[in-house]
Structure 1
Amino acid sequence: MDRRRYLTALTGGTIAALAGCSGLAGRSDPSGTDGATDTREATDTPAATERASNATATGGTAASVPRQAGDVELPVPRSELDRGAAEDAIPAITDPAFGTDWSEFAVELDPNERVIGVKRDGEARAYPLAILNWHEIVNDVFEPRSKARRTESDGEFDGPLLVTYCPLCGSGLTAERRVDNEETVFGVSGFLWNSDLVMYDRATDSLWSQIMATAIRGPKTGESLSLVPSTLTAWSAWREAHPETEVLLPPPTSGSVGNARPRDYTRDPYAGYGESHRIGIGGEEFEGKLHPKADVIGIAHDGMARAYPFDTITNEGVINDRVGGLPVVVTTDPGDALVAYERRVDGDVLSFEPAGADAIRADGSRWRRATGEAVDGPHEGTQLSRANDASPMFFFAWRDFNPETEVYGN
């Protein structure tokens, strides 16, 4: 079964003990050398208990707290948070180190390994899921560079960067690592909401939904992080598109919370989870025509939400569609990453078609699938805007956060 559709193949007909978001792997290993977390019990620390108990803003009144984020009423009740691990038992990376590859390490970075790729301010970096499956959060910094070195596709972001991945939902999120415009460090709270990673920030002790990029409890309830564009694709495809890229190096070269011991980064702690119909750590059985772990890219606009499954996209090659009046084109890049762009350019709505493995064509120009940038013709240099706010993820996760979603092709 293709890893591009699911995390891994089912091993021995059973789901392996979950790690990462669940924080449960390795509990049977008394040496504590296997699994994503330490062998301490998943109980609340005093700080975590206080953080989870906050229902209104500290130092403010309940009326000052935003009460809605989309269809979600805030703050999220404590009863809706599931405790999967102790706070910081899944150790976020706080001092990342980078290199050109992993050739100096005992572990090898497979060319097909999925990475979250970010290009900003003239720099490209890749964050392998081989690491993120175990650590879930990377607190990084893109050092400012001269604006003269920037290209249009680089954007204007530099500075503190937050890179996150929830293995239970298959969802990545990259954002500016700031709260109240001040740099802060994010950690893994150990809570789950809708089976998704819940983060906390050290500046305010607020709890943040990873998929929503929004604080759901604590002083910053209702506030959202500023997203930074990223791509979830194969390491080989990212490196081919960005030959100058650096890649995150595994601990202990990269430092983490508590200087946690290194994991076995050659092993996927979620082996089997990707094909199971059960979701999250509770093992709830998912019902529906589409496999719950099918990779989808979701688009929400003007009160409408639609999910585009990987299989449907690859079968059609290029999809021209509208979501709530937003004209979109959905396709894959050479690393089988799902990408979606707005197909309105200078007020005109374009219709795209395939133009080889790495490009799509419209109105006399070819546009890179991976970046949405026109490389020739009358639109050369024009950048398509991304149509999706959320990263590609498992279908059940998209549906949990968008319960009225449609599924393209169904």
Structure 2
Amino acid sequence: MSSRRGLVIGVLSLILLGSKVATATGQVESWVREGWKTDFSRTLVDFEEVMSGGPPRDGIPPIDDPIFIPARDVVDLDGREPVILFPLEGESRAYPLRVLTWHEIVNDEIDGQPVAVTYCPLCNAAIVFDRRADGETLSFGTTGKLRHSDLIMYDRSTESWWQQFSGEAIVGDFVGTDLTMLPSRIVSFADFLGAHPDGLVLVPNDPAARPYGNNPYQSYDTAQRPFLFRGELPPDIPAMAHVVVVETDSEPIIVSLNRIRQSPLQLRGYSFSYKTGVASALDTATISDGRDIGSVRVTRDGQDVVHNLTFAFVAHVFHPDVAIIDADAH
């Protein structure tokens, strides 16, 4: 009886494996028909995890020739609106989420350093990368694909696919290569203006091209479940709870925003502080009306470090073995 059961299990495993291979092959064939020149034989991920986000390649168009104006000249940004502050020293720039929501990637250059300023609304992940990899300066676009509800970018040189949340090339010639993340943070436009009145603020190339200031993901960050997500949800914390992720040399640190709101926090040499006054970009129909979720700053030895204010489901799916700190910590 046991040998027969083993045979049945073996046959079923082969059938499932064959089905999985057939599904992956079908996906690759469909992507090739879309015109992708990506080397799909090189991958770090299960293609079943990749799904369409709706728009085609660059259907959410990146900004390649960004336009900026001084903060003191901006008239259409509410003081509570969230902006990505980068760089954190020197000639700082602000990249409003009211613009990034509709473009997701800005290919920019600051003091000779090529950077990609990115925002994935479905993960609320705002991350700045150095665009240089293996001695080559890359330019990025949107694939129209998602993995774990997170934006998959592509570089225009090799059409390799890159996971926005991790900055890692997951498919193609660059597979296994990591982009360098650069320290940035979300602040209110009012705080940016107060600190950098002559600082530059990204404005739309064509203000009439999109309904800038509107949120196409109304009520998303108070939903019960994330959109276009098939992974395991985190235990003991709502999927859409805001958390802060700090990538360290060892295990990442993940702390809920609710915990950081309680009081300043010290963990493994990192300092977490919180400030009110920043509207959620994913709450009400108009971003400026969004509820106050505030902003977080993370430092080590007084220096800002790379961190990411995202959702609990995102932190859990990319770091499934790391506990989310959601109570008093020491």
Shorter-chain TM-score tier: 0.7 to 0.9
Looking at structure 2, the residues matched to 102 and 270 of structure 1 have their Cα atoms a distance apart, in angstroms, of 29
Kept after mapping to 2: 8 A contact 1:126/1:248: yes
Q: Does 1:235 align with 2:189?
A: yes
SS of residue matched to 1:90? coil
Looking at structure 2, the residues matched to 180 and 341 of structure 1 have their Cα atoms a distance apart, in angstroms, of 29
Q: 1:54 aligns with which of 34, 37, 40?
A: 40
Q: Which amino acid aligns with 2:218?
A: A
Equivalence for 2:144:
190
Looking at structure 2, the residues matched to 266 and 109 of structure 1 have their Cα atoms a distance apart, in angstroms, of 8
Calculate the TM-score normalised by the size of structure 1.
Answer: 0.63
Displacement after TM superposition at 1:180 (Å): 2.9
Change (3 A) 1:332 1:47: same
Q: 1:338 aligns with which of 280, 296, 301?
A: 296
Q: Which amino acid aligns with 2:56?
A: A
Looking at structure 2, the residues matched to 334 and 302 of structure 1 have their Cα atoms a distance apart, in angstroms, of 30
Looking at structure 2, the residues matched to 251 and 98 of structure 1 have their Cα atoms a distance apart, in angstroms, of 9
Equivalence for 1:100:
70
Q: 1:80 aligns with which of 45, 49, 66?
A: 49
1:153-182 deviation digits (Å, cap 9, x = unpaired)? xxxxx4211100000000011111223322
Q: Which amino acid aligns with 2:188?
A: A
Equivalence for 2:315:
398
Change (3 A) 1:197 1:102: farther
Looking at structure 2, the residues matched to 250 and 302 of structure 1 have their Cα atoms a distance apart, in angstroms, of 37
Kept after mapping to 2: 8 A contact 1:277/1:286: no
Looking at structure 1, the residues matched to 220 and 178 of structure 2 have their Cα atoms a distance apart, in angstroms, of 30
Displacement after TM superposition at 1:134 (Å): 0.8
1:17-52 deviation digits (Å, cap 9, x = unpaired)? xxxxxxxxxxxxxxxxxxxxxxxxxx857465442x
Change (3 A) 1:385 1:130: closer
1:100-148 deviation digits (Å, cap 9, x = unpaired)? 249677xx21111111110267311100110111110001111x3xxxx
Equivalence for 2:280:
none
Change (3 A) 1:287 1:140: closer
Kept after mapping to 2: 8 A contact 1:189/1:199: yes
Equivalence for 1:136:
104
State the superposition RMSD in angstroms: 2.5
Equivalence for 1:318:
264
Equivalence for 2:178:
224
1:35-93 deviation digits (Å, cap 9, x = unpaired)? xxxxxxxx857465442x6132xxxxxxxxxxxxxxxxx52132221111211111111
Q: Which structure 2 segments of 5+ residues have no match? A: 1-29, 278-293
Change (3 A) 1:77 1:247: same
Change (3 A) 1:232 1:304: same
Q: Which amino acid aligns with 1:252?
A: D
Q: Which amino acid aligns with 1:88?
A: D
Kept after mapping to 2: 8 A contact 1:295/1:310: yes
Q: Does 1:168 align with 2:122?
A: yes
Looking at structure 2, the residues matched to 45 and 95 of structure 1 have their Cα atoms a distance apart, in angstroms, of 29
Equivalence for 1:159:
113
Looking at structure 2, the residues matched to 45 and 89 of structure 1 have their Cα atoms a distance apart, in angstroms, of 17
Looking at structure 2, the residues matched to 390 and 212 of structure 1 have their Cα atoms a distance apart, in angstroms, of 11
Q: Which amino acid aligns with 1:75?
A: L
Q: What is the 5 A alignment of 1:153-302?
A: 158-252=112-206, 262-282=209-229, 286=233, 288-301=235-248
Q: Which structure 1 segments of 5+ residues have no match? A: 1-42, 57-73, 145-157, 254-260, 344-371, 373-383
Displacement after TM superposition at 1:263 (Å): 0.6
Kept after mapping to 1: 8 A contact 2:148/2:231: no
Give the aligned length. 281
Q: Which amino acid aligns with 2:167?
A: A
SS of residue matched to 1:191? strand
Change (3 A) 1:241 1:294: farther
Calculate the TM-score normalised by the size of structure 2.
Answer: 0.77
Identity of aligned residues (%): 31
Looking at structure 1, the residues matched to 36 and 218 of structure 2 have their Cα atoms a distance apart, in angstroms, of 32
Kept after mapping to 1: 8 A contact 2:239/2:312: yes
Kept after mapping to 2: 8 A contact 1:44/1:86: no
Displacement after TM superposition at 1:184 (Å): 2.5
Looking at structure 1, the residues matched to 274 and 124 of structure 2 have their Cα atoms a distance apart, in angstroms, of 17
Looking at structure 2, the residues matched to 136 and 286 of structure 1 have their Cα atoms a distance apart, in angstroms, of 25
Kept after mapping to 2: 8 A contact 1:313/1:330: yes
